[in-house]
Amino acid sequence: MKLDTLYQNHVSGLYRYLFSLTNDHYLAEDLVQETFYRAYLYLENNELENVKPWLFKVGYRVFIDHWRKGKRVDLGEPHLKPDEQTPEKTWLEQEGLNRILGLIRTLPPNEAHALLLCDFHQLKLHETADILNLNLNTLKSHLTRGRKKMRLLLQKEER
């Protein structure tokens, strides 16, 4: 697969995932570029069958590398790009997404990552387990606990 095609097919999903981890537009863009740079270096000599989970894994590793270098990740309110909808519709969608992402950020990291990859980005369980370097049963536990906590948090908010 050509890098241009790979980029066009997966850049928006990878950006959304990295943005949900960093909550910083510019940092997410930098991490996306680093991810595709590493993909270019690897794919130059290798061929992959299922590229999407591999790219997300590389993106996750790029995020972890950045985080380990001592860079702080701002977990404030996300700033989402408006789409071609009416301003009211866009505002309502952003508020709902901001609320959900804010609640996810209160969860332990493994549960938050599991929810983001499985529920937001629709990756399969074994792909998510591979990305997070977890046993499949451990991932299922994190996912179940995260979903349960999210339900409780949403119920508390509605009261």
Please tell me the pTM assigned to this model.
0.58
If pLDDT is split at 50, 70 and 90, which confidence band does 21 have? confident
Per-residue pLDDT reduced to its tens digit, 67-114: 888 644 444 444 444 445 556 556 656 677 778 888 888 999 999 999
Q: What per-residue confidence (pLDDT) applies to 86?
A: 58
Per-residue pLDDT reduced to its tens digit, 103-148: 888 999 999 999 988 888 888 999 899 989 999 999 999 999 999 9
As a three-state string, the secondary structure of the chain is: CCHHHHHHHHHHHHHHHHHHHHCCHHHHHHHHHHHHHHHHHHHCCCCCCCHHHHHHHHHHHHHHHHHHCCCCCCCCCCCCCCCCCCHHHHHHHHHHHHHHHHHHCCCCHHHHHHHHHHHHCCCCHHHHHHHHCCCHHHHHHHHHHHHHHHHHHHHHHHC
Q: What per-residue confidence (pLDDT) applies to 87?
A: 60
